[in-house]
Amino acid sequence: MAFYFRSAFCNREVTNINDDLRIRTLFDRILQLLSSTQPPETASGATLVQCIAQINITNLPELINCDIKQEYDQIYLLINHITKRLDSEVQHAKINLLQAAKNGPMYGCLSGINALLTIIHHDKYNNQKQINEWRIVFDHLIKICLEIASITGPIVSSSSPEGMMPMELTDISGKDEDESSNGQITSQMLLVCCWRTIKEISLLFSRLGQIGIKYIQNENQYRFINLKQVHIICNYYMEQLLKSRHCGAYELAYTGFLIICEQLWSSNCDELCNLPIKWIENGIKMVQENNLDKNKLCLTRRSGGLPFYLQSILTDEPIKQRGQQRTYVAKLMETLLNIIQNDPDTIQIDGQVLENSRKIHAYNTVRSFYRNQRFANDVFPYIERGLHLSITGFTSSIWMIRNSATLLLSTIVQRIFGPSKTKDGEENLSKKNSMTSREFFNKYPSLFHLFYQQLQQTTSTRSSIESLSSSCLFAILLILRRLYPSPLDGIDCSLTLDKLLPFVIKCEESPLLRIREHSSKALLALIHHDQYSTIINQQISQLMKQPKDKIRQNSLHGRLLQINAIFESMKKNNLQFTFDSSFNLQDMLSSLEWCIYQLV
């Protein structure tokens, strides 16, 4: 119905409705949809109310029981009417949030108001009386939204919002309902009600910001909302971003706060224009002094809304000169990378050794900046350092730091080589997701020495290749396999890839399957086509000479993977394999027959 109605309006088939019965039936149905517990129905209700607001309804005041004689604004009357319905639902939510989630979940009315706010032509309001009416409506909306947020906030801020069921709600509802009705479905209904309500509040506040912030000159000169109300809205966003544990709540708060910050950076009011600078300076200081509120911020959800909070402030930071970095983005990146580099993995609190939460937050936050395309130019100078820190993070004894380092590595690799262009991703990399080894190491020269050092240390002995520190091999090989040889390799003697070759071959002994697999792919990045036959002959020769009772299964499997990878590349490039002249094919096959039985 919503689709038909909207299509009809867009095609100008409906511009005026005078049939009282039809319009009353439609309006009653819209109000029912806005109070539905089904999100698709509330979306339909919001679409319909947006449509009828743009149609000339002659009896609208009678329809909503509003005694008004003079000329009226349909959008204003509709918002006022839906707001009264919202007030009623809020009163029920104060008494019992669980019942409100079933009978009047609030987010539908908020969605309808949001839909109407998007079609307000606020530039046309020059009459002071109309402006004052809108001021009253907006002031009431801000107050009621804050009230709703205080009711639903404890659910989305819970450490486990997906199963949150406050005891007081269970006790109240338990008087009238069976115990089974308070199970998983009820907790899901409650969560849907709360996070969707928070979502709509975040969108509503962003609409108010778009409508009102640009008209604010100072404390006394404004049009729709004043300075104090802007501060209230901003404080709401900060609370949601730094407290909410439900990803839907803080991701939508991020979207709204992004719009608000965009308006603030370009505001004509000096006080508002300086707000983002003040916030980011306080944020950097808070991180540097380790004053992060551990009770609010969430480690297990990738630092929750903290990365979103910092991104939303800095996304629209003005660029002083074309092609240059933005000042505060660079300052924040330096701060976060210094924390990752210099902070210990663990700290001691009250005699207990705990993971360093500040370091984990730094990993998660810096990753979000590498990931965001809008900061691509700003983070480019920090790619080399970020890769270095993510690789060294693989060797941490703290699982949360290793996990954060893994995510950071994945993000930076995607930033360097681009998103996967093939369906099978890692198994069959596209040339578009690769670059020559010479180009890569010329861009990031310190990584060559890091790779050399780490490969040398972790493959020097059998014990080292089987230790925890060998996990960094995975990160190095993951990058190497995305490279391919350049015709100019070897011209710069300081970056001779032959230095890495013996260590990559040595990775065949790793007890980790993924490292053995990646080593076979990375090997192709270090050797030219004319070296393929030589490497295969060397590998086969070593297998023939090695006593079969002394070779390990992992080593045998890794070596065969490397041989197979080279053969696959030769087949792909139509290359011919040439045997070493000293080999006798029959002797070679008979001497390697034991490999088959070893692998069975």
State the Cα–Cα distance between residues 1 and 26, nearest whole angstrom. 10
pLDDT class of 412 with cuts at 50, 70, 90: very high
Span 172-185, average pLDDT: 46
Instruction: Say yes or no to pLDDT of 298 above 70.
Output: no
State the Cα–Cα distance between residues 589 and 583, nearest whole angstrom. 10
pTM recorded for the entire structure = 0.83
Instruction: Say yes or no to pLDDT of 597 above 90.
Output: no
Instruction: Say yes or no to pLDDT of 307 above 70.
Output: yes
pLDDT in the model for residue 541: 81
User: Which of residues 350 and 397 earns the better pLDDT score?
Assistant: 397
pLDDT class of 533 with cuts at 50, 70, 90: confident
Judged by DSSP in three states, 318 sits in coil
pLDDT in the model for residue 160: 66
pLDDT class of 331 with cuts at 50, 70, 90: very high
Span 218-239, average pLDDT: 90
Candidates 471, 551, 552; CA nearest to 518 is 471
Span 34-59, average pLDDT: 84
pLDDT in the model for residue 387: 93
Category of 354 on φ-ψ map: left (φ > 0), alpha (ψ -120 to 50) or beta: beta
522, containing H or E segment: helix 513-526
pLDDT class of 365 with cuts at 50, 70, 90: very high
pLDDT in the model for residue 182: 44
User: Which of residues 293 and 55 earns the better pLDDT score?
Assistant: 55
Spell out the residues 6+ positions from residue 479 whose beta carbon is closer than 8 angstroms to its own: 387, 413, 440, 447
pLDDT in the model for residue 26: 83
DSSP 8-state class, residue 345? S
- Which two tokens mark 505? 């071959």
pLDDT in the model for residue 459: 84
Instruction: Say yes or no to pLDDT of 15 above 60.
Output: no
Instruction: Find the DSSP H helices in 19-156.
Output: 20-34, 39-52, 60-63, 74-95, 97-103, 107-117, 128-156
Instruction: Say yes or no to pLDDT of 204 above 90.
Output: yes
pLDDT in the model for residue 410: 92
User: Which of residues 183 and 575 earns the better pLDDT score?
Assistant: 575
Phi (first) and psi of residue 470, to 5 degrees: -70, -10
pLDDT class of 596 with cuts at 50, 70, 90: low
List pLDDT tens digits, range 64-88: 666 665 666 788 888 988 999 999 9
pLDDT in the model for residue 161: 63
Q: Which residue has 């108010």 as its token pair?
A: 208
List pLDDT tens digits, range 496-510: 778 888 899 888 888
Instruction: Say yes or no to pLDDT of 184 above 50.
Output: no
pLDDT in the model for residue 185: 47
Of 399-408, 550-559, 580-589, the range with the lowest mean pLDDT is 580-589
User: Which of residues 40 and 593 earns the better pLDDT score?
Assistant: 40
Most confident of 29-38, 346-355, 415-424: 29-38
Of 174-178, 284-288, 562-566, the range with the lowest mean pLDDT is 174-178
User: Which of residues 239 and 546 earns the better pLDDT score?
Assistant: 239
pLDDT in the model for residue 166: 63
Instruction: Say yes or no to pLDDT of 487 above 80.
Output: no
pLDDT class of 409 with cuts at 50, 70, 90: very high
Span 186-215, average pLDDT: 88
Packing angle of the helix pair 306-314, 227-243 (nearest 10 deg): 140
Provide the β-strand partners of residue 346.
355
* Cβ 224 vs Cβ 169: under 8 Å: no
Span 255-271, average pLDDT: 91
What is the DSSP code string of 476-502?
HHHHHTTEE--TTTTSSGGG-GGGTHH
pLDDT class of 468 with cuts at 50, 70, 90: low
Judged by DSSP in three states, 202 sits in helix
pLDDT in the model for residue 428: 67
Instruction: Say yes or no to pLDDT of 62 above 70.
Output: no
Instruction: Say yes or no to pLDDT of 526 above 60.
Output: yes
Q: Mean pLDDT in the chain? A: 81
Of 81-85, 202-206, 373-377, 529-533, the range with the lowest mean pLDDT is 529-533
pLDDT in the model for residue 287: 78
Domains in the chain: boundaries: 1-169+181-238, 445-599
List pLDDT tens digits, range 110-141: 999 999 999 888 777 778 888 888 999 999 99
pLDDT in the model for residue 591: 66
pLDDT class of 312 with cuts at 50, 70, 90: very high
Instruction: Say yes or no to pLDDT of 12 above 80.
Output: no
pLDDT in the model for residue 67: 61
227, containing H or E segment: helix 227-243
State the Cα–Cα distance between residues 319 and 327, nearest whole angstrom. 8
